[in-house]
Amino acid sequence: MEKPFTATITGVGHYVPERRLTNADLEKMVDTSDEWITSRTGIEERRILGEELGTSYMALKSLESILHAKGLNARDLDLIIVATITPDMFFPSTACLVQDEIGATKAWAFDLSAACSGFVYALVVGAQFIETGVHKRVVVIGADKMSCITDYADRETCVLFGDGAGAVLLEPGEPSLGLKDFILHADGSGVAYLRQPAGGSLHPASRKTVEKKMHYVYQDGREVFKFAVSKMAEVSAQILERNGLVGKDIALFVPHQANKRIIDACVKRTDLPKDRVVLNIDRYANTSAATIPIGLSEAAEQGRVNRGDHVLLASAGAGYTWGSALLTWAY
Ligand code: UT7
Protein backbone atom coordinates (compact mmCIF):
# COMPACT_ATOMS: atom_id res chain seq x y z
CA MET A 1 0.00 0.00 0.00
CA GLU A 2 1.35 3.43 -0.96
CA LYS A 3 1.98 5.54 2.14
CA PRO A 4 0.82 9.18 2.07
CA PHE A 5 4.16 10.25 3.60
CA THR A 6 7.56 8.68 4.31
CA ALA A 7 9.12 9.09 7.75
CA THR A 8 12.65 10.41 7.23
CA ILE A 9 15.36 11.05 9.78
CA THR A 10 16.24 14.72 9.34
CA GLY A 11 18.40 15.23 12.43
CA VAL A 12 20.48 13.15 14.85
CA GLY A 13 22.16 13.96 18.15
CA HIS A 14 23.70 12.21 21.11
CA TYR A 15 25.10 12.76 24.58
CA VAL A 16 27.50 10.71 26.67
CA PRO A 17 28.65 11.69 30.17
CA GLU A 18 32.24 12.85 30.57
CA ARG A 19 33.28 10.42 33.31
CA ARG A 20 35.10 7.35 31.95
CA LEU A 21 35.21 3.99 33.72
CA THR A 22 38.04 2.03 32.10
CA ASN A 23 38.84 -1.67 32.18
CA ALA A 24 41.84 -0.76 34.34
CA ASP A 25 39.45 0.87 36.85
CA LEU A 26 37.32 -2.29 36.90
CA GLU A 27 40.41 -4.45 37.51
CA LYS A 28 40.65 -2.64 40.86
CA MET A 29 36.97 -3.26 41.69
CA VAL A 30 36.37 -6.94 40.74
CA ASP A 31 38.36 -10.04 39.75
CA THR A 32 38.67 -9.25 36.04
CA SER A 33 41.27 -8.17 33.49
CA ASP A 34 41.49 -5.79 30.60
CA GLU A 35 42.53 -8.77 28.47
CA TRP A 36 39.36 -10.75 29.37
CA ILE A 37 37.02 -7.81 28.80
CA THR A 38 38.48 -6.69 25.47
CA SER A 39 38.86 -10.19 24.03
CA ARG A 40 35.39 -11.40 25.13
CA THR A 41 33.38 -8.22 24.52
CA GLY A 42 35.39 -5.56 22.64
CA ILE A 43 34.78 -3.06 25.46
CA GLU A 44 37.64 -0.80 26.62
CA GLU A 45 35.78 1.83 28.61
CA ARG A 46 32.29 3.09 29.36
CA ARG A 47 30.78 6.45 30.42
CA ILE A 48 29.08 6.93 33.78
CA LEU A 49 26.52 9.64 34.59
CA GLY A 50 26.75 11.46 37.93
CA GLU A 51 24.65 10.04 40.78
CA GLU A 52 22.66 13.26 41.05
CA LEU A 53 21.39 13.02 37.45
CA GLY A 54 18.85 10.72 35.78
CA THR A 55 18.25 9.39 32.28
CA SER A 56 16.12 12.43 31.37
CA TYR A 57 19.22 14.64 31.59
CA MET A 58 21.01 12.67 28.87
CA ALA A 59 17.83 12.40 26.78
CA LEU A 60 17.37 16.17 27.03
CA LYS A 61 20.99 16.86 26.01
CA SER A 62 20.72 14.60 22.96
CA LEU A 63 17.50 16.36 21.88
CA GLU A 64 18.97 19.82 22.52
CA SER A 65 21.83 19.06 20.13
CA ILE A 66 19.34 18.33 17.33
CA LEU A 67 17.26 21.46 17.96
CA HIS A 68 20.41 23.54 18.09
CA ALA A 69 21.87 22.10 14.88
CA LYS A 70 18.59 22.55 13.00
CA GLY A 71 17.66 25.92 14.49
CA LEU A 72 14.34 24.46 15.60
CA ASN A 73 12.18 25.57 18.49
CA ALA A 74 10.93 22.92 20.94
CA ARG A 75 7.42 24.30 20.45
CA ASP A 76 7.58 22.91 16.88
CA LEU A 77 7.63 19.31 18.15
CA ASP A 78 4.48 17.16 18.02
CA LEU A 79 5.55 14.01 19.87
CA ILE A 80 8.47 12.85 22.04
CA ILE A 81 9.08 9.12 22.55
CA VAL A 82 11.79 7.98 24.96
CA ALA A 83 12.89 4.35 24.77
CA THR A 84 14.37 3.46 28.15
CA ILE A 85 14.47 0.78 30.83
CA THR A 86 16.04 3.16 33.33
CA PRO A 87 13.47 5.98 33.60
CA ASP A 88 14.13 8.72 36.17
CA MET A 89 11.11 7.31 38.03
CA PHE A 90 8.19 5.00 37.19
CA PHE A 91 5.91 7.95 36.66
CA PRO A 92 5.71 10.46 35.23
CA SER A 93 7.47 9.15 32.15
CA THR A 94 10.99 10.30 31.27
CA ALA A 95 9.50 11.60 28.01
CA CYS A 96 7.21 13.93 30.03
CA LEU A 97 10.20 15.21 32.01
CA VAL A 98 12.06 15.93 28.74
CA GLN A 99 8.95 17.56 27.24
CA ASP A 100 8.74 19.96 30.19
CA GLU A 101 12.47 20.73 30.42
CA ILE A 102 12.83 21.46 26.71
CA GLY A 103 9.58 23.49 26.60
CA ALA A 104 7.85 21.36 23.95
CA THR A 105 4.48 22.75 24.95
CA LYS A 106 2.58 21.37 21.93
CA ALA A 107 4.02 17.84 22.14
CA TRP A 108 2.58 14.75 23.78
CA ALA A 109 5.09 12.33 25.23
CA PHE A 110 5.52 8.75 26.41
CA ASP A 111 8.14 6.14 27.28
CA LEU A 112 8.56 2.83 25.50
CA SER A 113 10.12 -0.22 27.14
CA ALA A 114 11.85 -2.72 24.86
CA ALA A 115 15.32 -2.75 26.46
CA CYS A 116 18.14 -2.92 23.88
CA SER A 117 15.60 -2.99 21.04
CA GLY A 118 13.90 0.11 22.46
CA PHE A 119 15.22 2.51 19.83
CA VAL A 120 14.24 0.35 16.84
CA TYR A 121 10.79 -0.25 18.35
CA ALA A 122 10.34 3.48 19.10
CA LEU A 123 11.56 4.53 15.65
CA VAL A 124 8.94 2.34 14.01
CA VAL A 125 6.19 3.60 16.37
CA GLY A 126 7.16 7.25 15.81
CA ALA A 127 7.30 6.74 12.04
CA GLN A 128 3.63 5.69 11.97
CA PHE A 129 2.53 9.18 13.05
CA ILE A 130 4.52 10.75 10.22
CA GLU A 131 3.45 8.22 7.58
CA THR A 132 -0.24 8.73 8.35
CA GLY A 133 0.16 12.50 8.14
CA VAL A 134 -0.93 12.96 11.75
CA HIS A 135 2.33 14.66 12.81
CA LYS A 136 5.10 16.69 11.19
CA ARG A 137 7.87 16.44 13.81
CA VAL A 138 8.39 13.41 16.00
CA VAL A 139 11.42 12.95 18.25
CA VAL A 140 12.62 9.44 19.09
CA ILE A 141 15.18 9.13 21.88
CA GLY A 142 17.02 6.06 23.17
CA ALA A 143 18.48 6.76 26.62
CA ASP A 144 19.69 4.59 29.46
CA LYS A 145 21.59 5.06 32.68
CA MET A 146 22.61 1.42 32.99
CA SER A 147 25.04 2.23 35.80
CA CYS A 148 22.05 2.67 38.15
CA ILE A 149 20.98 -0.98 37.74
CA THR A 150 24.48 -2.49 37.53
CA ASP A 151 26.05 -4.39 40.43
CA TYR A 152 29.68 -3.23 40.52
CA ALA A 153 30.55 -6.25 42.66
CA ASP A 154 29.43 -8.72 39.93
CA ARG A 155 32.18 -9.18 37.34
CA GLU A 156 29.83 -11.01 34.97
CA THR A 157 27.69 -7.92 34.36
CA CYS A 158 29.50 -4.82 35.62
CA VAL A 159 32.02 -4.80 32.76
CA LEU A 160 29.27 -4.75 30.13
CA PHE A 161 27.23 -1.59 30.59
CA GLY A 162 27.51 2.20 30.29
CA ASP A 163 25.35 5.33 30.17
CA GLY A 164 24.31 7.48 27.19
CA ALA A 165 21.56 8.84 24.97
CA GLY A 166 20.88 9.39 21.30
CA ALA A 167 17.99 11.06 19.48
CA VAL A 168 16.57 11.39 15.99
CA LEU A 169 14.06 13.82 14.50
CA LEU A 170 11.48 12.33 12.12
CA GLU A 171 9.77 14.49 9.49
CA PRO A 172 7.77 13.73 6.34
CA GLY A 173 10.01 13.28 3.30
CA GLU A 174 10.12 12.20 -0.34
CA PRO A 175 8.79 8.68 -1.06
CA SER A 176 12.25 7.46 -2.17
CA LEU A 177 13.78 8.34 1.22
CA GLY A 178 13.22 7.40 4.87
CA LEU A 179 12.05 4.25 6.63
CA LYS A 180 11.66 1.54 3.97
CA ASP A 181 10.96 -1.57 5.99
CA PHE A 182 11.12 -3.09 9.46
CA ILE A 183 10.94 -6.44 11.20
CA LEU A 184 10.08 -6.54 14.91
CA HIS A 185 9.72 -9.51 17.23
CA ALA A 186 9.11 -10.35 20.89
CA ASP A 187 9.36 -13.55 22.92
CA GLY A 188 8.56 -13.00 26.58
CA SER A 189 10.04 -16.34 27.60
CA GLY A 190 13.36 -14.44 27.50
CA VAL A 191 12.49 -13.13 30.99
CA ALA A 192 14.21 -16.26 32.31
CA TYR A 193 17.59 -15.08 31.02
CA LEU A 194 17.66 -11.29 31.23
CA ARG A 195 15.74 -9.07 33.65
CA GLN A 196 15.75 -6.58 36.49
CA PRO A 197 13.86 -8.76 38.98
CA ALA A 198 12.62 -6.19 41.54
CA GLY A 199 11.28 -2.67 41.73
CA GLY A 200 8.03 -3.35 39.87
CA SER A 201 4.63 -4.51 41.13
CA LEU A 202 5.69 -8.15 41.46
CA HIS A 203 8.58 -7.48 43.80
CA PRO A 204 8.31 -3.90 45.05
CA ALA A 205 11.38 -2.49 46.78
CA SER A 206 11.84 -3.96 50.24
CA ARG A 207 14.68 -4.75 52.61
CA LYS A 208 14.66 -8.29 51.15
CA THR A 209 14.88 -7.18 47.50
CA VAL A 210 17.78 -4.88 48.33
CA GLU A 211 19.62 -7.52 50.37
CA LYS A 212 19.15 -10.08 47.56
CA LYS A 213 20.41 -7.55 44.98
CA MET A 214 17.21 -7.92 42.99
CA HIS A 215 17.31 -4.34 41.67
CA TYR A 216 20.32 -5.07 39.49
CA VAL A 217 20.50 -6.57 35.99
CA TYR A 218 20.37 -10.36 36.09
CA GLN A 219 21.73 -12.03 32.96
CA ASP A 220 22.51 -15.56 31.86
CA GLY A 221 25.22 -14.34 29.50
CA ARG A 222 25.71 -17.54 27.51
CA GLU A 223 22.00 -17.98 26.77
CA VAL A 224 21.56 -14.33 25.80
CA PHE A 225 24.67 -14.52 23.62
CA LYS A 226 23.27 -17.47 21.64
CA PHE A 227 19.90 -15.73 21.24
CA ALA A 228 21.46 -12.41 20.16
CA VAL A 229 23.80 -13.96 17.59
CA SER A 230 21.09 -16.00 15.93
CA LYS A 231 18.24 -13.45 15.99
CA MET A 232 20.15 -10.29 15.11
CA ALA A 233 21.76 -12.06 12.15
CA GLU A 234 18.43 -13.57 11.11
CA VAL A 235 16.46 -10.29 10.98
CA SER A 236 19.34 -8.49 9.27
CA ALA A 237 19.54 -11.14 6.55
CA GLN A 238 15.73 -11.26 6.19
CA ILE A 239 15.25 -7.54 5.70
CA LEU A 240 18.03 -7.40 3.11
CA GLU A 241 16.64 -10.34 1.20
CA ARG A 242 13.04 -9.16 1.08
CA ASN A 243 14.18 -5.75 -0.21
CA GLY A 244 16.36 -7.27 -2.92
CA LEU A 245 19.59 -6.08 -1.29
CA VAL A 246 22.87 -7.74 -0.37
CA GLY A 247 25.42 -6.74 2.25
CA LYS A 248 27.51 -4.57 -0.04
CA ASP A 249 24.46 -2.42 -0.90
CA ILE A 250 24.38 -1.16 2.68
CA ALA A 251 26.35 2.04 3.25
CA LEU A 252 26.03 1.91 7.03
CA PHE A 253 25.15 -0.92 9.40
CA VAL A 254 24.31 0.25 12.91
CA PRO A 255 23.88 -2.79 15.16
CA HIS A 256 23.07 -2.80 18.85
CA GLN A 257 26.36 -2.87 20.77
CA ALA A 258 26.23 -5.64 23.40
CA ASN A 259 29.29 -7.66 22.39
CA LYS A 260 31.67 -7.22 19.46
CA ARG A 261 31.56 -10.97 18.87
CA ILE A 262 27.76 -10.78 18.35
CA ILE A 263 28.24 -7.95 15.84
CA ASP A 264 31.03 -9.83 14.02
CA ALA A 265 28.82 -12.91 13.67
CA CYS A 266 25.99 -10.79 12.27
CA VAL A 267 28.31 -9.05 9.80
CA LYS A 268 29.66 -12.40 8.61
CA ARG A 269 26.19 -13.88 8.11
CA THR A 270 24.96 -10.87 6.08
CA ASP A 271 28.24 -10.49 4.18
CA LEU A 272 28.46 -6.80 5.09
CA PRO A 273 31.72 -4.99 4.29
CA LYS A 274 33.51 -4.37 7.61
CA ASP A 275 34.16 -0.69 6.88
CA ARG A 276 30.39 -0.05 6.80
CA VAL A 277 29.83 -1.26 10.36
CA VAL A 278 29.38 1.27 13.17
CA LEU A 279 31.20 0.27 16.35
CA ASN A 280 31.23 2.28 19.55
CA ILE A 281 31.19 -0.58 22.05
CA ASP A 282 34.92 -0.07 22.70
CA ARG A 283 34.25 3.46 24.03
CA TYR A 284 30.74 3.31 25.46
CA ALA A 285 30.00 -0.42 26.17
CA ASN A 286 26.33 -1.46 26.11
CA THR A 287 24.17 1.65 26.62
CA SER A 288 20.97 -0.37 25.94
CA ALA A 289 18.44 1.72 23.96
CA ALA A 290 21.08 4.37 23.29
CA THR A 291 23.64 2.33 21.32
CA ILE A 292 22.00 2.64 17.90
CA PRO A 293 21.10 6.38 17.94
CA ILE A 294 24.56 7.21 19.36
CA GLY A 295 26.09 5.17 16.52
CA LEU A 296 23.91 6.90 13.91
CA SER A 297 24.72 10.32 15.32
CA GLU A 298 28.48 9.73 15.37
CA ALA A 299 28.44 8.25 11.86
CA ALA A 300 26.51 11.27 10.52
CA GLU A 301 28.92 13.63 12.29
CA GLN A 302 31.86 11.84 10.66
CA GLY A 303 30.25 12.10 7.20
CA ARG A 304 29.94 8.31 6.89
CA VAL A 305 26.41 8.49 5.45
CA ASN A 306 24.97 10.48 2.54
CA ARG A 307 21.58 11.22 1.01
CA GLY A 308 20.25 8.16 -0.79
CA ASP A 309 22.40 5.65 1.15
CA HIS A 310 20.86 2.45 2.51
CA VAL A 311 21.20 2.22 6.30
CA LEU A 312 20.51 -0.98 8.24
CA LEU A 313 19.72 -1.07 11.98
CA ALA A 314 19.51 -4.29 14.02
CA SER A 315 18.99 -5.06 17.68
CA ALA A 316 18.40 -7.85 20.19
CA GLY A 317 17.78 -7.58 23.91
CA ALA A 318 15.69 -8.25 26.98
CA GLY A 319 12.14 -9.45 26.56
CA TYR A 320 13.32 -11.06 24.43
CA THR A 321 12.88 -8.31 21.83
CA TRP A 322 14.67 -8.09 18.50
CA GLY A 323 14.33 -6.41 15.13
CA SER A 324 15.79 -4.64 12.13
CA ALA A 325 14.98 -1.50 10.18
CA LEU A 326 16.02 -0.42 6.70
CA LEU A 327 16.28 3.28 5.88
CA THR A 328 17.30 5.43 2.95
CA TRP A 329 19.24 8.34 4.38
CA ALA A 330 17.61 11.69 3.65
CA TYR A 331 20.31 14.35 4.03
O1 UT7 B 1 22.15 -6.08 25.34
C2 UT7 B 1 21.47 -7.07 26.07
C3 UT7 B 1 21.83 -8.36 25.57
N4 UT7 B 1 23.04 -8.81 26.21
C5 UT7 B 1 23.93 -9.46 25.49
O6 UT7 B 1 23.78 -9.59 24.30
C7 UT7 B 1 25.09 -10.10 26.23
C8 UT7 B 1 25.31 -11.49 25.72
N9 UT7 B 1 26.34 -12.22 26.39
C10 UT7 B 1 27.65 -11.92 26.29
O11 UT7 B 1 28.02 -10.95 25.69
C12 UT7 B 1 28.65 -12.88 26.88
O13 UT7 B 1 28.01 -14.10 27.20
C14 UT7 B 1 29.38 -12.34 28.14
C15 UT7 B 1 30.32 -11.22 27.73
C16 UT7 B 1 28.37 -11.84 29.15
C17 UT7 B 1 30.21 -13.46 28.75
O18 UT7 B 1 31.14 -13.96 27.79
P19 UT7 B 1 31.29 -15.53 27.56
O20 UT7 B 1 32.36 -15.73 26.58
O21 UT7 B 1 29.92 -16.04 27.24
O22 UT7 B 1 31.79 -16.00 28.97
P23 UT7 B 1 31.10 -17.07 29.92
O24 UT7 B 1 29.87 -16.49 30.54
O25 UT7 B 1 30.99 -18.36 29.18
O26 UT7 B 1 32.22 -17.19 31.05
C27 UT7 B 1 33.51 -17.74 30.77
C28 UT7 B 1 34.36 -17.61 32.00
C29 UT7 B 1 33.65 -18.06 33.28
O30 UT7 B 1 34.58 -18.71 34.10
P31 UT7 B 1 34.63 -20.30 34.15
O32 UT7 B 1 33.26 -20.73 34.60
O33 UT7 B 1 34.92 -20.74 32.73
O34 UT7 B 1 35.73 -20.57 35.11
C35 UT7 B 1 33.25 -16.76 33.93
O36 UT7 B 1 33.15 -16.85 35.34
O37 UT7 B 1 34.70 -16.23 32.21
C38 UT7 B 1 34.39 -15.85 33.55
N39 UT7 B 1 34.05 -14.44 33.57
C40 UT7 B 1 34.96 -13.48 33.73
N41 UT7 B 1 36.29 -13.52 33.89
C42 UT7 B 1 36.93 -12.34 34.02
C43 UT7 B 1 32.82 -13.88 33.42
N44 UT7 B 1 32.92 -12.55 33.49
C45 UT7 B 1 34.25 -12.27 33.69
C46 UT7 B 1 34.96 -11.08 33.82
N47 UT7 B 1 36.31 -11.15 33.98
N48 UT7 B 1 34.37 -9.86 33.78
**237-286 pLDDT, tens digit each:** 999 999 999 999 999 999 999 999 999 999 999 999 999 999 999 999 99
Closest atom of ligand 1 relative to the 156 alpha carbon: 44
Residue nearest to atom 8 of ligand 1 (CA): 225
Mean pLDDT of the chain: 97
pLDDT value of position 5: 84
At 288, which amino acid appears? S
pLDDT > 90? residue 164? yes
Burial class (CB in 10 A: 0-12, 13-18, 19+), 95: buried
Cα–Cα distance, 59 to 112 (Å, whole number): 13
Task: State the pTM of this model.
Answer: 0.97
Closest atom of ligand 1 relative to the 158 alpha carbon: 48
Cα–Cα distance, 55 to 161 (Å, whole number): 14
pLDDT value of position 167: 98
Q: Which residue out of 14, 135, 256, 310 is catalytically annotated?
A: 256
pLDDT value of position 3: 72
pLDDT value of position 42: 98
- Partners of residue 110 on adjacent β-strands: 81
- Domains in the chain: ranges and CATH: 6-175 (3.40.47.10), 180-328 (3.40.47.10)
Question: Residue 270's closest CA among 248, 242, 295?
Answer: 248
Question: Residue 125's closest CA among 76, 93, 79, 85?
Answer: 79
Q: How confident is the model over 291-304, as a mean pLDDT?
A: 97
Q: Is 286 a catalytic residue?
A: yes
Q: How far is the CA of 221 from the centre of ligand 1 (A)?
A: 6
Half-sphere exposure of 294 (CA within 13 A, CB side): 29
H or E element in which residue 239 lies: helix 221-242
pLDDT value of position 88: 98
Q: Are 269 and 237 in contact (CB under 8 A)?
A: yes
Q: Are 164 and 144 in contact (CB under 8 A)?
A: yes
Question: Residue 325's closest CA among 302, 300, 294, 292?
Answer: 292
Residue nearest to atom 21 of ligand 1 (CA): 222
- Residues 63-87: tens digit of each pLDDT: 999 999 999 999 999 999 999 999 9
pLDDT > 80? residue 185? yes
Q: Is 116 a catalytic residue?
A: yes
Cα–Cα distance, 40 to 36 (Å, whole number): 6
pLDDT > 80? residue 4? no
Closest atom of ligand 1 relative to the 116 alpha carbon: 1
Q: What percent of the chain has pLDDT over 90?
A: 98
Q: Which residue out of 23, 259, 280, 286 is catalytically annotated?
A: 286
Q: How confident is the model over 129-142, as a mean pLDDT?
A: 97
H or E element in which residue 36 lies: helix 34-41
Pocket of ligand 1 (CB under 6 A): 32, 36-37, 40-41, 116, 155-156, 159, 221-222, 224-225, 228, 258-259, 262, 286, 317
